[in-house]
A and B are shown apart, each in its own frame.
Chain A
Amino acid sequence: MADLLEVKRISMLFGGLAAVNDVSFTAGKGEILGLIGPNGAGKTTVFNIVNGFYKPTKGEVLFKERRISGLKPHQVCRLGIARTFQVVKPLQRMSVFDNVLSSAFLRAKGRAEAEGIATDAIAFTGLADDRDVISKGLPLGKRKKLEISRALATQPEFLLLDESFAGLNPHELDESIEIIRNIKARGITVMIIEHHMRVVMSISDRIVVLNYGEKIAEGTPGEIAKDPLVVEAYLGEERSA
């Protein structure tokens, strides 16, 4: 598999503290890559670096062999990387459809084409019935789906999903797993941050584990489950919690 995304030895310092320290990994085209780790391990920071909100203090990020670290988020998005947010950020006073339409304009040539893309994207996540609901009034599960629809409407090649499963009920969880499998089937590479171990183990092709900003393991779900460092990191968290 050719590497779509290459993260090379990135570090991110905040006032002398390293939120991410010398982390490297790659994501191959078409795979689902899980990113896990205890709270405060630096997962979202990695997303923020890839997506362009942060410029890494050290290291670089390559997308399709092109350096993207240092670009603005909108430039990164235009190149084909979309994301969702852990704390959902719906455009509160817009309807579901208008939310998605706003991002569909990115690659559409006209309004009609944008509307087509947006309609597809909400149908894809099963939000078609909520098309005209103002997004402020949506329950959490649907807001998470809205975020995914909005990201998909930018027609990305690479999708960053930040805890798209947190706070969902078991039924919604199954739906979301299905959605992500379908995204993969469309040929979009997915990277997910997830706390829900069952989910991440079942859908990821490979998993990267972070702890205190450093990569402590990488491998298939089977390998990760047996890794003593990973077990230690998670047990440590449970003990302190």
Chain B
Amino acid sequence: MPFVILAILAALPLTGLSSYAMHLVILVVMWSVVGMAWNLLGGYCGQVSFGHAAYFGVGAYTAGILYTKMAISPWWGVPLSIPVVALFSFFLGYIVLRLRGPFFALATLASGEVMRVTAENLVDFTGGTLGIMIQERTWVEKTWYYYIILLVATVTFVLVKKLAESKLGYYFVAIREDQDAAESMGINTTLYKTLALCISGCLTGAAGAFYMNYMGYIDPNVVFALHDISIITIMIVMVGGVATYWGPVVGAVIMVLLAEWIRSIPGLGTAHYTFFGILLIIIIIFLPNGIVGDFPKLKRLLKLQKA
């Protein structure tokens, strides 16, 4: 089954989709990566991060700064963002992971904002609010961008699945379910939470570095955005399905298409956050484990309506 899906996805550019359609597909795949990464930390390990923009942005800026300061291809940012973000998340994890539950949520939210304000003010290094612009795009065609992000997504999917089914995955879920119990079962909760955060951060950072290359422009308000990155990431996983393999993918499809659809309605374009907010509220109240996680419940609800 996964191979069939992968084959279909790999053949997608051959079907002659319009450039705009390819753009949407690329966004869906990129957001799936971020969603899957968040899901590893939030869904499996139970550490709900409100600041994944921090990792996304650091990844994007790694690529951007390589280009502006070292004059090498920003594509190096995709692999090189991994050690950079790993170091960054290790440091950040040391601070935020000693906190539990809502305090962790707050600290991560703050860390995303700290990064945004820092990037705005470190003008010499980041270009401040003017951002970073890549003058010459690698390709005009979208096909290669698509294959690159599809590769990242496939690696992410396989990695998350392998991890979730290994000892590490059991430890993550044990920590999510009861940290005290996990600790007294001999699980070094600090270590494993840091691991989950680092892996999650690195994958998100890689997506951020891709974003820099693909969009060709970043600024602090774009890549360190609270709503546009951190909250959308949470929504993708919440809508799709917490702690499921396909949930973030389903969530990314829905969120990207929904955003495009709302933007295309005249007069409602600015209202997309109202719809997102209402969608989030509805999901939390009626399908708290997302479409994939609460699929049986969803089917029941739909059947009831038909009857």
A: residues with CB less than 8 A from B are: 51, 53, 72-75, 77-78, 82-83, 85, 89-94, 98, 101-103, 105-106, 111, 114, 150-151, 154
Are the C-beta atoms of A82 and B178 separated by less than 8 Å?
no
Partner of A74, one of B167, B173, B187: B187
Question: Is the CB–CB distance between A105 and B184 below 8 Å?
Answer: no
Instruction: List residues of chain A with CB within 8 A of the CB of B185.
Output: 74, 77, 82, 102-103, 106, 150-151, 154
Question: What are the residues of chain B within 8 A of A93 when measuring CB–CB?
Answer: 173, 177
Within 8 A of A (CB), among B184-200: 184-189
Q: Which residues of the partner chain B approach A111 to less than 8 Å between Cβ atoms? A: 166-167
B229 CB to nearest A CB, Å? 29
Closest residue of A by beta carbon distance from B177: A91
**For the complex, is B171 an interface residue (Cβ under 8 Å from A)?**
yes
Chain A residues whose C-beta falls within 8 Å of the C-beta of B180 in the assembled complex: 53, 73, 85, 89
> Are A105's CB and B171's CB within 8 A?
yes
CB proximity to A under 8 Å, residues B178-233: 178, 180-189
Q: Mark B153-186, 1 if CB is under 8 A from A, else 0.
A: 0000000000000110011011001101111111
Q: How far is the CB of A144 from chain B (nearest CB, A)?
A: 14
A77 to B188, CA, bound (A): 10
Asked if B188 contacts A98 (CB within 8 A), the reply is no
Given the complex of chains A and B, what is the CA–CA distance between A85 and B183 in angstroms? 12
- What would be 17 A-B contacts, judged by CB atoms less than 8 Å apart? A53-B183, A72-B183, A73-B180, A73-B183, A74-B184, A74-B185, A74-B189, A77-B183, A77-B185, A82-B185, A83-B184, A91-B181, A94-B173, A94-B177, A105-B170, A106-B187, A150-B181
- A114 and B167 alpha carbons, distance in the complex (Å): 9
4 closest A-B pairs by beta carbon, nearest first, are A77-B186, A91-B177, A103-B185, A89-B181
Task: Classify chain B: how many residues form its interface, as a range.
Answer: 10 to 19
Give Cα A105 to B181, complex, Å. 14
B171 near A91 (CB under 8 angstroms)?
Answer: no
Assembly CA distance A103 to B167 (angstroms): 10
Interface string of B237-272 (1 = CB under 8 A from A): 000000000000000000000000000000000000
In the assembled complex, the Cα of A73 lies from the Cα of B183 at a distance in Å of 6
Residues of chain A within 8 A of B181, CB atoms compared = 85, 89-91, 150
Q: Contacts A74-B189, A111-B167, A114-B167 given: A102-B173 contact, CB under 8 Å? A: yes
By beta carbon, the residue of chain B nearest A53 is B180
Smallest beta-carbon distance B105→chain A, Å: 20
A105 touches B167 (CB 8 A): yes
Distance of A156 from chain B, by nearest CB (Å): 9
* Docked complex Cα distance between A90 and B171 (Å): 14
B177 pairs with A103, CB closer than 8 A: no
> Which chain A residues lie closer than 8 Å to B178 at the CB level?
89-92
Q: Which residues of B contact A92 (CB under 8 A)?
A: 177-178
Contact partners of B188 in chain A: CB under 8 A: 72, 74-75
